Chain A
């Protein structure tokens, strides 16, 4: 059985008190409890504070470019669909720079687990507005406040009929661990949007701010009702729901690609013997 110690990685370069630490703790606990070994899965990350996540763990890692986690994860997963593939991104990373990829990864319903460290700000580049920043937030680059409507990733995902949509909070590692485990075991593209306070640059959406507002969705709630899910997704203000907000059981891409019905692509080898016949088709 793996232990938390097995997952000890590089020393994090995050600011003390950053919400990212809570995510790291919850993630380690989740994979250990699930009995996953570091070599059994791959994390793909982008660039930002969240992008550094896999370095602070132990696992197969592709730390790619800002915004490009999902296409890389898609390529990995299609090539080896028996290996769990996790994408870790920031809110800017995933919803800004990589917004197009987000839409299409959800549409494909490839069985990737996407964990978004949503601090409603650009942390690594020192505090510019992100797509999820609240309207009116003043930053160095938005001196008159943010003009654009705040992006609602949960509602967007439900609109796209995303297979699994959850929200959690880095300040509640127990809840977060649960959401991570549920996402990991769900079959289908899974988004967990995680409120992750940036203690250095986001002076609005602080630990206190979230703590005051978030509430856990009641157990009777049926996440398979899309219209109800949409209503929950639109709740924002004094009360913000966390938990599994929407879920469906659409077939996953990996099961629809005939080429990998029997074996993952990476195990198929290359059979040269058919080439003669293929060449003949040109005569």
Chain B
């Protein structure tokens, strides 16, 4: 079974609440769920939709075709009727839309009237619609009733009862009037976890011991701030809304200097304002994690839509040269673990770490059996309290073999902690001489870099182990690419290479690291592990066709690949209309290349 439901309507009509509620019902019922949202940059009006896919096997992308369309506005019908499958059905309320459709695949349900008659208030029309969808599918109401009970606990018994009765009314109406409904979702057992990308990044931060989050609101990063702010009290976290993104990153650096784990987040536009602070983090060797949510740009672009247009920006922006980490999770699960890894490495190596995502990942909900807290890394690398007090001497930037100097907490001991944005000596005081400058550059850059690279995991290879076709991508296209491989594997030899730890680039054995002397150093032992001799580069080089898939116009990852490995993609699939790929569309495009 594999059903898709689309709820379309104007902003402010409660589309997201309906979608969220249905997704929760399905995931608690044990179905695998995937949801994605498409909304305009407005609070009222326009046309938005929320798409839910449910299945008895894992699903990780939206399909082109829909089985049930819940239309709350005329545009919902005009835009999406053509997406219905042969047996697909539209439900709508003709009195609300002021139009009637006499086609057999349209079911007119008086949402508002049923709400008024059975629930006592027209406002419960959305609950009628939820009940109707469950009725069409033949899914029990027990979980929905639980959710209604929780949601309206504060509003009292009458409201709870009204909503339950409205849902029942919708269900009964659908069951008696939907002659064509022949959905039969197989019953599942055990509730699943339902989580989106924003929540996963926020949760990853909290699980890493993040204590300070400062940001200025900007879609699609605001969800992270909202989630963490909701947990301030429980976990002892301060969330500060800064006056601008420049302040946001500088506050986070102040907090980190003071001895707590700190994070900031924004979209590309806000990150642009943070760039000076990124360089400050590097020079002062102050750990910081930055969540960078991409949306179509330049400038304000399409504020609520999706794109992978900021990869090069994240990789290269800054004045000066220094190591940084850029992780691009492909799923909420990866977002959780990689945010944690970003915190760990940022502090271990005292560098900035960027978690780059996009509106699509931020808002898509996935289901999991669970997340494994055993996999969470937590080491407090800072020098504090007694351990610091016992030291005979302390220099913030003391030269060490690894390039990493102990990071002490100011005020915890007699030792002074001096951080400087000017080039400085071991004590942190500003210098002008050439020799110290070179030694400090070597410390920050060339000594740390090989150690950081050795922490980077190679890309995920999925599909055939010696594929004729390799599709390559990064970030939020993971689910789409993986499902495309599943579909195409039936007739083709195909695999996916997905990069989520994009920078420092996972070094294939063929292409060792640059070093200070320009000589080649020993490659990371981790690179290519489990991918046969030669690692991912040989998988790629041995394939007949390799295709790089990205949600941007120019192929920024393809360019990174070429810069890092010399490999040049002959085929690229790019989408840059502000929308994510859909599964069948992507499969079609791949077929168009490989025949």
Contact = CB atoms under 8 A, between A and B. Distances in A.
B254 A74 contact: yes
Interface in B126-144: none
B214 A75 contact: yes
Contact of B257 (A62, A82, A268, A272): A62
B207 A60 contact: no
A274 B235 CA distance: 8
A55 B199 CA distance: 43
Given A104-B243, A283-B27, A65 B373 contact: no
B429 A10 contact: yes
Contact of A64 (B199, B232, B253): B253
B197 interface: no
A61 B415 contact: no
B96 interface: no
Interface in A61-107: 61-65, 68, 70-80, 82-83, 100-101, 103-104
Contacts of B450: none
Interface in B368-393: 370-371, 373, 376, 378, 380, 384
Contact of A78 (B238, B380, B410): B238
B68 interface: no
A28 interface: no
B258 interface: yes
B418 interface: yes
B236 A268 contact: yes
Please classify the interface of chain B as helix (H, G, I), strand (E, B), loop, or mixed, using the class held by over half of its residues: mixed
Interface string B13-48: 000000000000001100000000000000000000
Interface string B226-260: 00000111111110101110111011111111111
Indicate the member of A60, A83, A103, A275 with the most B CB atoms within 10 Å: A60
Contacts of A39: 410-411, 413-416
Contacts of A40: 411
Contacts of B378: 270, 272
B206 interface: yes
B289 interface: no
Nearest to B244: A100
B487 interface: no
B148 interface: no
B193 interface: yes
Contacts of B252: 75
A120 interface: no
B28 A258 contact: no
Nearest to B196: A282
Interface residues of A, number: 55
A270 B416 contact: no
A178 interface: no
B211 A79 contact: yes
Interface residues of B, number: 69
A79 B409 CA distance: 11
Nearest to B195: A282
A274 to B, nearest CB: 6
B421 A283 contact: no
A63 B421 contact: yes
Contacts of A104: 242-243, 247
A64 B421 contact: yes
B247 A101 contact: yes
B410 A83 contact: yes
B495 interface: no
A11 B411 CA distance: 24
Interface in A95-154: 100-101, 103-104
Contacts of B254: 44, 62, 71-79
Interface in A45-69: 47, 52, 54-55, 58-65, 68
Interface stretch (A187-195, A220-228, A259-267): A259-267
Interface stretch (B276-284, B527-535, B579-587): B276-284
Given A64-B253, A104-B247, A283 B240 contact: no
A176 B421 CA distance: 28
Contacts of B211: 79, 265-266, 268, 270
B259 A79 contact: yes
B196 to A, nearest CB: 10
A41 B416 CA distance: 10
Nearest to B373: A275
B277 A65 contact: yes
A259 B247 contact: no
Given A68-B277, A265-B212, A276-B373, A75 B258 contact: yes
B240 A74 contact: yes
Nearest to B262: A75
A207 to B, nearest CB: 27
B424 to A, nearest CB: 8
Contacts of A70: 247
A80 B259 CA distance: 8
Contacts of B206: 275, 278
A101 B243 contact: yes
A266 B258 contact: yes
B430 interface: yes
Given A74-B254, A75-B252, A60 B410 contact: yes
Interface string B200-212: 0001001101011
23 contacts: A41-B411, A42-B411, A55-B418, A63-B419, A63-B422, A68-B277, A68-B280, A74-B247, A74-B251, A75-B251, A75-B253, A75-B254, A79-B212, A79-B238, A79-B259, A265-B212, A270-B378, A272-B207, A274-B235, A275-B206, A282-B193, A282-B194, A283-B28
Interface of A: 10, 37-42, 44, 47, 52, 54-55, 58-65, 68, 70-80, 82-83, 100-101, 103-104, 257-260, 265-266, 268, 270-272, 274-276, 278-279, 282-283
Given A47-B421, A75-B256, A270-B380, 12 more contacts: A10-B429, A42-B258, A64-B280, A75-B251, A76-B258, A79-B211, A259-B238, A260-B238, A265-B238, A266-B211, A266-B384, A270-B211
